A and B are shown apart, each in its own frame.
Chain A
Amino acid sequence: MKTIRYALGALIVGAGMAQAQDTTLSYMSWDPEQLEIEQEAIAAFEAANPGVKIETSAMPPKDYWPRLSALAASGDLPDVFMMSSGFVKEWAAADNLADLSGVVSDDELANYYEGAASIGVIDGKRVAFPQNWVAPVLYYNIDMFEAAGVPLPTTDWTWDDFLSAAKALTIDENGDGTVDVWGMSLYGRYAHIEPWVFRNGGRYLNADETALELNDEAVNALKFLTDLVNVEGVAPQPQEMEGVRQQDIMPLGMAAMWVDGSWNIANTRSIVGDDFRWGIAQVPVGPDATDDNVAAYAWADMLAVGKDSDNTALAWAFIQHMVGEGRDASDFLGGKVPAYIDIATSEGWLESDKMPANKGLLLEIGAQNVYTGFSKNWSGWRGYDSTGSSGMNGELDEVLNGRKPLDEAIDAFVLYGNDVLSR
C-alpha cells in the first residue's frame, strides 16, 4: 500500500517532468534517520522520472550547517536541501535560496497548513516549502493526575489552574523533606520557555527583529516560570537533574508535567512504554494575552532550492513529491506533523490507538496564529547546539539554579544578544 502510494505520488508529480533526461539532482538532509525512511519515496520519484538520479547526503545538524555554509560560500549548494525556520531569514537575506514564488500555485498551497507554509515566505518571496512542522505541547502523566485527584489539563486552563495542579502533584512520598515527584519539570531552552512567553503575548524582539527589547508580557512570563522553581518549589533546579536528559524526566516518572516540542512524542513513547498513561495539552494561555498578541509557537522543517541550481523546475517537482501526497503517514515520526493536510488528518498519522490518544490536538495548534520568534543570529543570542550553554540559555540557567535574580539575567542576555544581533 505504502509503495503504491509513493509510486502514484511520483507519477502525479512526474507527469509534467517527462522531459528530464540524465539529470542528477543533489539532495542534502540534516537527518540521516529520516533520509533512510525517505529512500522509498526517492526511489519512486526516480522511477517516475526516467533519467533522473537523486544524489543524497545526510549528516546531523552540527555538521550539516557548517557543510551547507561552506557549499554556499563556494557556490556549490545542493539543488534541494533542508532549511530550518530558525535560519531561513538569514539564508534568504544572503540570497542563497531560489525564488519559488512563480512555481507554487495558490491551489497547491491550499493543500498545506497555512501557518507552516507562511514561514517559507520572506519579504514576499517564497524561498522554502514546509515538509513537516512541530509545536511544543504540555505532556502530562494521566495516572499521576488521577492519583492526586487533579482534573486533567484542558484547552481553557489558566496559569493559576496549572500552578494549582503543579502544587498538588509535587509530592514528598516518604516525608523526609525531599521532593520525590515534581509537579513540573522546567528547562531554560527555547522549546520549553517560548511557548509560555508567546502564549502570554510576550515578544523578545523589536518589530523589525534587529534588537532584543522584551515587552512586559515576556518579562511576566519569565517571572512566572522561574518562580515555579525558586518560589513555588514545584519544579526542580536543572542542576539537580544534571546527568538525566531533560526530556526523559517526565517519561521516567520523576515529574508529572513537562513542556517540550512535539518531536518528543517518539521519545516519550519509547521510554514510558506501558508503564503509565499520558497525554498532551496546549500550553495554557497567560493572563496578559489578548486576541491580538497571543500566539502559538510552532515552526516548520522545510525544503529549499539552491539559488544556482540549473534544475529549479525539477527540484520543485522533487520537493512537491517529498512534501506532498506521495508520502506515507508512517514516514513522519511521532510528533512531526506532515505539512500536507490530508496526510496529517489521516488515521495513519493520528494513531488514535497509541498514546497520546489526543495527537490531533497538534493540528488545532497549527490552525492558530503561529509565531516562531526566530531572527538573524538567533542561535547566537538564544543559544543552540554548541552555543547551548551561552546567551539567553546560560542566563536563564543561572536564574533557575538560584544563582542570579531574573532582572540581572535579563539585563545580561539583552546586552549580549544585542551585541550578537549587531554583528
Chain B
Amino acid sequence: MRSSRKVRITALLFLAPTIIGLLVFRLVPIGWSFALSFYDWKIFDTPTFVGFGNYAHIFSSPTAYKVFLNSAYFSAIYVPGSIGLALVLAVLLNNGLRSSAFFRGAFFLPYITSTVAVTLAWRWIFSTKFGLLNNFLGWLGVDNAPAWLADPTWALPAVALVSIWKDVGFYMILLLAGLQTIDPTLYEAARVDGAKPIQRFFKVTVPLLTRSLFFVMILALVRSTQTFEITYALTNGGPNRASTTLAFYVYQNAFVEFEMGYAAALSYIMCFILGLFTLTNFYFRKRWVHDG
C-alpha cells in the first residue's frame, strides 16, 4: 500500500514539470485568451468588457470577410496540392526511382531550410522584371507575364505554391512510411490477376494508404490555417490584403495594432472553424479509411 502511494508520488513528481509547463504555458493562456476575446484591450490600456462586441465587429467587417475567403482559398489550393504531390513523390520513391536516397533528401530539404531564406529566393524567382520565372516565360514567347506577387489574382496562389513546395517533403516522408507497410505480396497477387499499374495504384495502394492519407490530411488542414512566415516574407499579406490569411491577420491585429481582444476573438473563430473541419473529417473517416 505504502509502496503504491510512493510510486504514485514519484510518478507525479516526474510528471510535474510537464504538467506545470502545460498549465502555465498552454492551458492558462488558452483560457485567458478566450476570456480576453470578450474585452477591448489595447495592450497597455485597462481592458474594457465588450461582450460579443469583437465577434460582432468581425462578422460585420468587409476586411475580415475577405480574410476568411482568402483562408478558404488558400486551404483549397494547399491541402489537395500538397497531399497530391506528396503522394506522387512517395509512390515514385517507393517504386525504386533511381537515386531515391538522393531525391528523398532533396525533396525533404525545403522543409528543414530557413523559411525566410528560401522565401527571399522565391521573391527573386517571382520578380516581375528580373525574375527567373518571367524571364523563362519570356523565352517561351509570353510577353505580358503577370506580376506574380503584386497582382491580387496571383499573389495568394504564389504563397500557396511556395508553401506546398516547402512542406511537401514532410508529407512525402509520412506517406512513404505508409507505403512501406503495404505487403508486396498483395501487388504480386494483383499482377497475377491481371491488374494494370494504374489499377494496382487505385485498388491496392490507395485503400491501404488511407490511414496515412487521413493523418496527412488533418496535418495539412491544420497547417493551412497557420501559414504565416511565408506570407510575411513573400507578400506581407498584399497586394491590398489579397494574400492575407487568418493567422497573418491575427498577427497584424495583435502585434502591430495591439488590439489584443480583437485578435483573441479572431483566433477563437479560427479555432472553431478548424475544429469543425477536423470533426467533420473524423465523422466521414469510416466511409473511406480502411483500418484493416
- Give chain A's interface residues, CB within 8 Å of chain B: 65-66, 69-70, 72-73, 94, 96, 238-244, 377, 379-380, 384-390, 393-395, 397-398, 401, 403, 416, 419-420, 423
Residues of chain B in range 103-150 having any CB-CB distance to chain A below 8 Å: 123-124, 126-131, 147-150
| B43 adjacent to chain A (CB < 8 Å) | yes
Q: B129 to chain A: which residues have CB within 8 Å? A: 240-244
Contact, CB under 8 Å: B241 / A394: yes
Choice from B124, B126, B130, B256 contacting A387 with Cβ under 8 Å = B256
Contact, CB under 8 Å: B244 / A390: yes
Known contacts A94-B42, A243-B124, A403-B152: A390-B237 contact under CB 8 Å: yes
| B235 adjacent to chain A (CB < 8 Å) | yes
A contacts with B: majority SS: helix
Contact, CB under 8 Å: B252 / A377: no
| B44 adjacent to chain A (CB < 8 Å) | yes
Taken together as a complex, chains A and B put the C-alpha atoms of A244 and B134 apart, in Å, by 14
Distance in angstroms from A78 CB to nearest chain B CB is: 14
Q: B63 to chain A: which residues have CB within 8 Å? A: 390, 416, 419
Contact, CB under 8 Å: B240 / A397: yes
Known contacts A389-B237, A390-B237, A401-B150: A66-B42 contact under CB 8 Å: no
- Chain B window 30-50, contacts with chain A (Cβ cutoff 8 Å), 1 for yes, 0 for no: 000000000010111100000
| B151 adjacent to chain A (CB < 8 Å) | yes
Taken together as a complex, chains A and B put the C-alpha atoms of A69 and B43 apart, in Å, by 7
Q: B123 to chain A: which residues have CB within 8 Å? A: 243
Q: A72 to chain B: which residues have CB within 8 Å? A: 43-44
Taken together as a complex, chains A and B put the C-alpha atoms of A419 and B253 apart, in Å, by 13
Closest-by-CB residue of B relative to A420 is: B257
Q: A386 to chain B: which residues have CB within 8 Å? A: 232, 236-237, 248, 251-252, 255-256
Distance in angstroms from A409 CB to nearest chain B CB is: 9
Contact, CB under 8 Å: A398 / B236: no
Question: What would be 16 A-B contacts, judged by CB atoms less than 8 Å apart?
Answer: A242-B129, A242-B150, A243-B127, A244-B127, A377-B257, A379-B256, A379-B257, A386-B236, A387-B237, A387-B252, A389-B236, A390-B244, A390-B252, A394-B240, A419-B63, A423-B262
Kindly name the residue among A239, A244, A393, A419 whose own CB sees the greatest number of chain B CB atoms within 10 A: A239
| B81 adjacent to chain A (CB < 8 Å) | no
Taken together as a complex, chains A and B put the C-alpha atoms of A388 and B239 apart, in Å, by 9
Q: B252 to chain A: which residues have CB within 8 Å? A: 386-387, 390
Contact, CB under 8 Å: B241 / A390: yes
Taken together as a complex, chains A and B put the C-alpha atoms of A244 and B129 apart, in Å, by 8
Taken together as a complex, chains A and B put the C-alpha atoms of A374 and B124 apart, in Å, by 34
Taken together as a complex, chains A and B put the C-alpha atoms of A401 and B40 apart, in Å, by 37
Closest-by-CB residue of B relative to A254 is: B129
Q: B128 to chain A: which residues have CB within 8 Å? A: 239-243
